[in-house]
Structure 1
């Protein structure tokens, strides 16, 4: 009884009474229920806390009330299945509550009592909770053991690993083993890595090997793991760990794995590990892999690693691969790798690839790499290709690459190419690229093409490109509507207005619906209004349904109301239906 009273006192002291100044119904209800708990009137307290939890389920004291409803029931009948289920429901509903741990502990206590009374199934249900508690105790003990020294702690820790089934405990032990200098550690870590533990625990063992101070033993163990029949993920982890070993002889080990593993994923992992070292030996090894006859994917990985290297003198090597390799994938990868070397030599090398690459795809890759470089020189190189090449694909690639460059020089170059090109496809590509350019010059140029071009495909492309220059001002698209004579171009402008996120769009479309004689353009304006998604468009569309002379336009207006989908639009549709033909 004394123990019971002590526990009760501790729990009761955690109940914090709300301040007397709180006057809300919820606070008053909680204070009343809380008083019943403090007075140990358990039956009334249980009912009051349950009622509070149901009535004020969103209140910040709802989880408190739910827990104390269970606790009060516990005091009335501590070894009942109803108490167990109450705590179980609480944990499921309030797993992050401050009372969750108390509820779990009480579940374990009640389950033990029920099991002793002939209901062992409750112990099965709380096995995971029991394990969580055991894990916490075990982890606390492990932290304490770290301070006792190798001789006293290692045997115990190894025994705990063999006995434990918890990944949390086992992972902690693996990390701890990396700090011991005993001869028993390396074999144990290798055993764990190649054993039947979970993948996460085994990977932790591999990394612990790589971080160990005994480099020679670590390398031997990691190489054995790579050569084993373990899952690829474990072996790749071993390769990455080899790359992290701080020893001068790692490059030959990784190079051998990259060239001779026979497993593409392992080979790539070895290449990336070498790339992280970025020393002269690693660079030479990567170049050897690229020039060899190994798997293409591994050789491409080596090219990417060289592209990310800060080592000087790599551009000529990469350019040679890009221009002479008979494998298009390798040549393209080499071109992109050159693009990562931001130097004048890199730009000149890319231009050489554009001129001398063995395939259009490789030359296009070099153009895109040029487009990612800053500076007027890169833009000028791309302009020369677009102006002089007789290959439409290369011209378009050069245009898109220029479009990726910022600044007025890029926009000016695109306008020059447009004037010189005779290909509609290339000129459309130029218009879209100009649409991504900033500045009044780009906007005016697109406006001119949209309103004066005799080629409707080009005029429409200019309109769509202008959509990128609208921002919060649709006046330029409205100007196209006024000046353009081609119906398709005007329709494109209407759709662009409808897709713009501006307050001017609705008014502009309303004006078109009032004044435009062409029913197809009015229909396009209706669909554009539907795309605005604004309630301001509802009254306009209702007017169209009531007044427009074209059945197709009126039907489109009904569909547009459905597209808007707001409460106002739905109400308008209901009124249209209720009104019939009137």
Structure 2
């Protein structure tokens, strides 16, 4: 018998280790919890609140993880309220319950008791009770707001008219920022002249900056009205949100109000917020006004804020006005050593490149000859290439041949690649290739010659091929020759395929002959095969 008992004990231990008895244990635990919960409810129904309070605490200690725990927590608060008459302690108990279970099965019952206790405490002068009543009132307003919002969306979906009074009530009374935000979004659907005044009120007073911002966005649609411009100007004076202030500036810039230019100029010059100054400067670009142009030029020429100068410069560029050429020249030749100063000079040159006026070429020529900033001079080379013409071409040729600065000479070569005709490009670049003392310039001339190679340039490329010692560059010339379908090109490639000392170059020449594919090229390939 002892052996059998020992055997059964061993089996039970193994089953427990494997969890085989877990379902039975859990089922037993659930049944115990259900029975204890029923006993707790009976105590509540019999109004034995003191015993119910003790039973609820024991239940939560024993079965706090069960599905009956929420009900037991509510009964603990309820029995505490009824047995002790300690309303402050019961009030705190309900507050914790609602925090833990805001939308639970017993939440409505708890909220009802909480409200009664809050009113009792408020009447007794307890500030916590008053605060709780205000919070619950706001919750009811917001629940009502959400209901109204759903009705409004349905009306809009059916192309109905949204009543202004309902929208205004939601926007001014709801404590829920999401509700107010949605109302601002839908305000454009409300056909009522009072909308503008409502939006102005919201933009001036709503505590949420995001809602004020969207009110300003909505007001932008009415920015042709003087009262809207005046309101936005007043908001600018008190608004702290930088994004709202910037949007106001852009909104009023699109109006035709006589005072707009003065407002923008004043903000651009004097506002303590650098972002607002830059926004006003960019907004001035939208104002088609001589005073705006003069203000931008003045900012570029006199401001100590180089970022603001750059904003003014870009605003001027957007105007596409040839009258700004002298200003651009002055900036391009300025001598500031700061990063912003250098960027301003280059930006001015790029703007000159985009200015479609022949008077720009002499200005760029002067910049090339007198600027002490090599990056600006390189930018001027490319700008001259954009404009083209005999004067620009002559200056670039001289720079490519004679400039003692390697980077500048190289920039001149690349600029010329966009200027010279195919007829004389290869010959000129060959001359640069032979004469330049700079390896990088010679390489640039080589690639420039190849990029513009035409049928007549095959002899010149052949000469470059013979003079070139670098196998990679010889291979590049071979591929340039493969683009020329001429007998002379075929003859040069056949010679390279036979005699070049580098196997990769010879192989490239064979492939180039195949790429040409003319009868002469095919014959050259057969000859090479027969010779082998």
| Short-chain TM bin | 0.5 to 0.7
- Report the counterpart of residue 232 of structure 2 in structure 1: 221
Q: Does 1:431 align with 2:446?
A: yes
Deviation of 1:498 (Å): 8.4
2:200 is aligned with 1:187: yes
Deviation at 1:174, TM superposition (A): 3.8
Deviates most, 427-436 or 132-141: 132-141
Cα distance in 2 for partners of 1:477, 1:191 equals: 80
Pairs within 5 Å for 1:101-180: 136-140=153-157, 143-145=159-161, 153-161=163-171, 165=178, 169-170=182-183, 172-176=185-189, 180=193
User: Which residue is 1:91 aligned to?
Assistant: none
- RMSD of aligned residue pairs (Cα, Å): 4.6
Q: TM-score, normalised by structure 1?
A: 0.53
In 2, Cα distance between equivalents of 1:431 and 1:206: 57
1:491 aligns with 2:508: no
- Greater shift in the superposed pair: 169-178 or 345-354: 169-178
Q: Distance in 2 between matches of 1:252 and 1:173?
A: 33
Give the whole-Å Cα distance in 1 for the aligned partners of 2:506 and 2:191: 68
Do the aligned partners of residues 460 and 311 (structure 1) sit closer, same or farther apart at CA in structure 2, a change above 3 Å counting? same
Deviation of the 1:225 alpha carbon: 4.4
Does the 8 Å contact 1:335/1:362 carry over to 2?
Answer: yes
1:390 pairs with one of 386, 396, 404: 404
Closer, same or farther: CA 219–432 of 1 in aligned 2, 3 Å: farther
Tell me the equivalent position of 1:336.
350
SS where residue 160 of structure 2 aligns?
helix
Instruction: Give runs of aligned pairs for residues 561-580 of structure 1, distance below 5 A.
Output: none
Query: Is the deviation greater in 215-224 or in 397-406?
Result: 215-224
More divergent stretch after superposition (330-339 vs 214-223)? 214-223
1:452 positional shift: 1.0
Paired with 1:166 and 1:467, the residues of 2 have a C-alpha distance of 68
The equivalences for 1:8-87 within 5 A come to: none
> 2-side partners of 1:238 and 1:384: how far apart?
52
Within 5 Å, give how 1:141-290 maps onto structure 2.
143-145=159-161, 153-161=163-171, 165=178, 169-170=182-183, 172-176=185-189, 180=193, 184-191=197-204, 195-197=208-210, 202-203=213-214, 205-206=216-217, 208-209=219-220, 211-221=222-232, 224-225=235-236, 228-230=239-241, 232-290=242-300
Residue in 2 aligned with 1:10?
Answer: none
Deviation at 1:448, TM superposition (A): 3.8
Alpha-carbon deviations, 1:115-140, whole Å to 9, x = none?
Answer: xxx9x9xxxxxxxxx99986751433
Structure 2: how far apart are the matches of 1:407 and 1:171?
Answer: 61
Query: Per-residue CA shift, 1:48-78, capped at 9, x if unaligned?
Result: xxxxxxxxxxxxxxxxxxxxxxxxxxxxxxx
- In the alignment, the residues of structure 2 paired with residue 291 and residue 332 of structure 1 have an alpha-carbon distance, to the nearest angstrom, of 16
Among 460, 468, 471, which residue is 2:472 paired with?
A: 460
Determine the structure 2 residue equivalent to 1:364. 378
Residues 290, 255 of structure 1: alpha-carbon distance in 2 compared, 3 angstrom cutoff: same
Deviation digits for residues 519-560 of structure 1 (CA, Å, limit 9, x no counterpart): xxxxxxxxxxxxxxxxxxxxxxxxxxxxxxxxxxxxxxxxxx
Which residue number corresponds to residue 415 of structure 2? 401
Gaps of 5+ in 1: 1-117, 121-129, 147-152, 516-582
Cα separation, 1, equivalents of 2:332 and 2:220: 39
The answer to whether 1:314 aligns with 2:288 is no
Name the TM-score, length of structure 2 as normaliser.
Answer: 0.57
**Larger radius of gyration, structure 1 or 2?**
2
Supply the distance in 1 between the matched residues of 2:317 and 2:352 (Cα, whole angstroms).
6
Is 2:216–2:244's contact at 8 Å kept on the other side of the alignment? no
Q: Distance in 2 between matches of 1:436 and 1:411?
A: 10
1:346 positional shift: 0.4
